Structure 1
């Protein structure tokens, strides 16, 4: 930290502020004193920031940490303005690159905008299946996104467009207000965004330690999917959060039928939370009001890699659905560089499948257990604020001459659709290795051993095999 102070004063020397004739000028001496004071303030803020980040498993979205970054950047801007002779109050903005992309903001921080983007390139191969059509290999641009997020006072906004699969689709597109009520941070989102449902279901794939979402996220999804256009409210405590949302169909609804509307709630609690780790408990529930155009429910999740459309689990189509609801539980924890998570879900669908078309309830179940270890000493990027995966802070980035961060992870998933006529049963085991080059780029390798037993569809009967997936990813 002392190096920064010395460098700042040396910069002022280079501008001629400390030449003997100027030192005799009281106004110039005051500028020198101001630079020294600002350098000392930055040093103190950086020490506080380092202490906070080293004691947390998550830093994304933490209000205190973000405020410290803002204060440091504002002081750096003021020092640059003073050193150039502009005075502490001149200038109109600052550019920061600490999130991997350029962020522009005014000196007072009232206006800010950051360019966002991600590229995820996948290579996958499947073998061992009894069906040749399942033993395929290929490449895929899983995500190619470009967008922006920003802030105008207390209002935030975000918009992302995805260009993968030779089509343009809008993902996140929302505005947000934050305030404090009853002494607690609260916020509301209006627009299209991920629903708060399960750990993997609430989370972007770009932060997930595995290439694909787990069975709980896949089986427990509502008809209108992971995203929904609507309103989402969240309140945060010191070691908990609760979120509630009302969302219709995703943005691509053609507009000739009513939306299916999903009402959902999710909460989490950290009953143990220390500087070395925490325990995570969570639960969620949704009820979906189905639109008239939903004449059947038949989700067929992929069990290998996303590229292979032939490798799916058949849930058996349920005609004339009347009711759709789901709930789940979460248990997990982090200790130093090790993490472990478990999830379970049940989705209940009432449909006209009984004798003479009478309504009957069918349950679809899934569970997932996973664990990982960052062998280079980093803290897992799991957020205690919102109960989802965030950024893994790399201690020795490759881009700064280090080795990056290495993580090994394993997961077991189970799909149970057997409560339905002709419903399948399946399981998969995934072993993964992640190499984080820095906070924004990583390489992934996943090996998946799977088994299915579909009763309907093109690939019926017991089957098993292996899938290998690799991913190169940049996120900013």
Structure 2
């Protein structure tokens, strides 16, 4: 799967068809970004993007590394396009960070009589936490397990299906997409992944969600298991290095199994996940566990969104936005994370995150997180305490 020539051809067809469609009297709006909608069909074309600016005060203690020097950064600068013509939908978006530009979602989805097929660059379907858009997360960073186990975007093809209560998806993937505008792989790794979810809404208005996913991944040159303690401006905690030539041995492949559960009842929500990844190649086939439990409450009475067709959290839209003379929406949240790195001789990682979110508008918010983390290895201890603030806009 060195390149997706078919996807590139369809992208070209879409690019030549969309301008013609826009000239057929489509209606323009700012919602909140530029958008054009067909007056007679569900076809549309829009620009999409998001920008996150973070400020942090990091109190770092480690015998392995000095305290980080940066205290502010542009965490995300995404910009791209999205559109639909008939049964074909396009998403093409890049992160335009000056020092680290990279593709994010670049894919085509074709709607079938039952389900849909997607080709391009997109995430393997693992973890509700990872599948939920960062625009709709209640914390500045995702749970430990998503980064430690390397749940990421890859070039691939997948099938998605949903009914009133269930979703199912499965896909086959090659390597990660190169940091350019070509649908080409950066390495020779490959993966197969799948996810199944169930949800229901009770008569009392409570939404329940359960899910499970798996991933089988073949590496090209091994892998590393590492993560920052829920703060991107902090350093990495433990690194279990299973790349070529390292003392721990080279990882040839891995198998990941993950479980997820969530509940939404009025302004209250709770969410938990557990995952285990086993490596093949290093002596003893080491296995690693990680999980988290989180909960939140929206003080102004709104309800956190849920998208049953994909089994993910939606956003929070304030009942009284600042632009309408209101106070926006206010949310408090907490999360506890745990990771067992014992099979690499690195002990455990524990973090506690406390958050306050102010949803100024539907597409703008201010986030504050306090994160206390500890890596307790057999021969040393690392700690990190971070107070961080994010200014976020997205459309």
Change in CA separation of 1:275 and 1:143 when aligned onto 2, cut-off 3 Å: farther
Which residue of structure 1 aligns with residue 77 of structure 2?
144
Alignment check: 8 A CA contact 1:428 1:448 kept:
yes
Q: How far apart, in 2, do the equivalents of 1:273 and 1:230 lie? A: 37
Look up the SS of the partner of 2:252 in the other structure: strand
Taking the aligned partners of 1:274 and 1:164, their CA distance within structure 2 comes to 46
Residue 446 of structure 1 pairs with residue 365 of structure 2: no
Query: Given the alignment, which residue of 200, 206, 211 partners 1:282?
Result: 211
2:61 matches 1:129:
yes
* 207-216 vs 425-434, which moves further: 207-216
For 2:325 and 2:186, locate their aligned partners in 1 and report how far apart those are by CA, in whole Å.
56
Shift of 1:289: 2.5
Q: Please report the TM-score for the alignment, with normalisation by the length of structure 1.
A: 0.72
2:37 aligned with 1:112, yes or no?
Answer: no
Task: Specify every segment of 5 or more residues in structure 2 that has no aligned partner in the other structure, as ranges.
Answer: 1-23, 243-247
Residue range with higher mean Cα deviation, 383-392 or 371-380: 383-392
Structure 2 CA distance, aligned partners of 1:251 and 1:220? 18
Which of 380, 383, 392 pairs up with 1:464?
Answer: 383
Provide, for residues 199-250 of structure 1, a one-character-per-residue CA deviation record: whole Å limited to 9, x for no partner.
12223322211001102212333xxx51011112110110110111111112
* C-alpha separation in 1, matches of 2:390 and 2:186: 38
Equivalent position of 2:133 in the other structure: 204
> Is 1:334 the counterpart of 2:253 in the alignment?
no
* 1:242 matches 2:168: yes
Q: d(CA) in 1 for partners of 2:391 and 2:215? A: 34
Give the number of the structure with larger relative contact order, counting CA–CA contacts within 8 Å between residues 6 or more apart.
2
Match of residue 425 from structure 1: 348
**Which whole-Å CA distance do the structure 1 matches of 2:101 and 2:120 have between them?**
18
Alpha-carbon deviation of 1:273? 4.0
RMSD: 2.2
Answer with 1 or 2: which has the greater Rg: 1
Residue by residue over 1:242-276, the C-alpha shift from the partner in whole angstroms, topping out at 9 and shown as x without a partner, is 11111111211797986211100001101444462
Q: Which runs of 5+ in 1 are unaligned?
A: 1-90, 354-359
The alignment covers a number of residue pairs equal to 364
Task: Select the structure that is richer in strand.
Answer: 2
1:314, distance to aligned residue in structure 2 (A): 2.6
The corresponding residue for 2:294 is 370
**Residue in 1 aligned with 2:273?**
343
Question: Counterparts in 2 of 1:56-95, with a 5 A limit?
Answer: 92-95=25-28
Q: TM-score, normalization: structure 2?
A: 0.86
CA displacement, residues 335-364 of structure 1 (integer Å, 9 cap, x when unaligned)? 0110001100000001233xxxxxx31101
How far did residue 168 of structure 1 move?
Answer: 2.3
- How many angstroms apart in 1 are the aligned matches of 2:355 and 2:388? 9
Which one of 176, 186, 195 corresponds to residue 124 of structure 2?
195
